[in-house]
Chains A and B, each alone.
Chain A
Amino acid sequence: MRGRKLGRNATHRKAMFRNMACSLISSVRVDEDDPQAPQVPGRIVTTVPKAKELRPYVEKLITMARKARVHAERAREFGTTAERDSDAWRTWRESDKWAQWAAATAPALALRRRAFQLLRSNEAVDVLFDELAERFEDRPGGYTRIVRLAKRRLGDAGEQALIEFVGERDRTRTRQRSAPLVVEDEPESDATPAAADETETAEAEDAAASETEGGASDEEKSEQQ
């Protein structure tokens, strides 16, 4: 088989990934009054191998939700806002609009049912198709991040990791340039307040050296892991 067995048989593994995916997706929507509410939304803590196996499972679900979003968008123009069983709704139901709407919604509904097959939870599917699909609309994959934790699990000292949805707590990295880049007139505002003092003294001696110090700060780029 593909991937890790994780010391379980096929059905046990399937049930475990279903539970984990449900927990991760449901944790996005936090109910304030719930005493058992997750401390950090959109995050669960497991072992490193389990997190790594869960990642493709969850990412495929999000891809499904994103694909369904396109169809749902297209179906909206044929839809109705009238209340069900009202007269306006009845006329819409009899018209061609309904047939067009049904045809346009069908792929979205099929994707929703496929996601439900994997999750078996209406709440998780709702969060997936309503919140996460919108959140990752323009992101071509890489929706989750796995970060190792220092603390080992009590009992078997298993390596723990957290898996969470990207978008919050993204890494900001100052990229190192391989060679100093010389710019004719360096804008003073580019330098960070901490680096500004250094820039002024260094400017007289070496313009190229101060550029590497000040220039690194505007290279700050959010990126996934």
Chain B
Amino acid sequence: MAVPKRRQSKSRSRKRRSHNAVKPLELAHCPQCGTAAPTHVVCPNCGYYQGRTMVEVEG
């Protein structure tokens, strides 16, 4: 069976992982209530989307 000949150095592993960083979500603010949410979705706080209320939120 194939087996590694050498232990991989920290440098080698870390270099490989240098591109693996997770970027933060790109959020936009709701024009009606200011809640941060992803773009192109109904506002999770007030139900606002593209100039009208799509989902009635109680409270």
A-side residues, CB < 8 A to B, are 40, 147-151, 162, 169-173, 225
The distance in angstroms between the C-alpha atoms of A147 and B52, with both chains bound, is 12
A172 touches B54 (CB 8 A): no
- Chain B residues whose CB sits within 8 angstroms of the CB of A162 once the complex forms: 42, 54-55
Please measure, in the bound complex, the distance between the C-alpha atom of A151 and the C-alpha atom of B41, giving whole angstroms. 9
Sort A-B residue pairs by CB-CB distance and give the 6 closest, nearest first.
A150-B44, A150-B41, A148-B41, A150-B37, A171-B50, A149-B42
Q: Considering the chains assembled together, what is the distance between the CA atoms of A217 and B41 in angstroms? A: 25
Q: Which residue of A lies closest to B45 (CB)?
A: A150
Q: How many A-B residue pairs have CB under 8 A?
A: 34
Indicate which residue in A147, A151, A173 contacts B54 across the interface (CB closer than 8 Å).
A147
CA distance A125 to B54 in the complex (A): 27
Is the Cβ of B43 less than 8 Å from the Cβ of A169? Answer: no
CB pair A173–B41 under 8 Å, yes or no, is no
Chain A: minimal CB distance from B38 (Å): 6
Question: In the bound complex, how far is the Cα of B42 from the Cα of A151, in angstroms?
Answer: 9
Contacts of B24 in A (CB 8 A): none
Contact pick for B52, options A40, A149, A171, CB 8 Å: A171
* Those of B26-46 within 8 Å (CB) of chain A: 37-38, 40-44
Supposing A150-B44, A151-B44 touch, asked if A173 and B38 sit within 8 A by C-beta, the answer is: no
Complex CA gap A173/B52 in Å reads 10
Give the residues in chain B near A169, CB-CB below 8 Å.
52-54
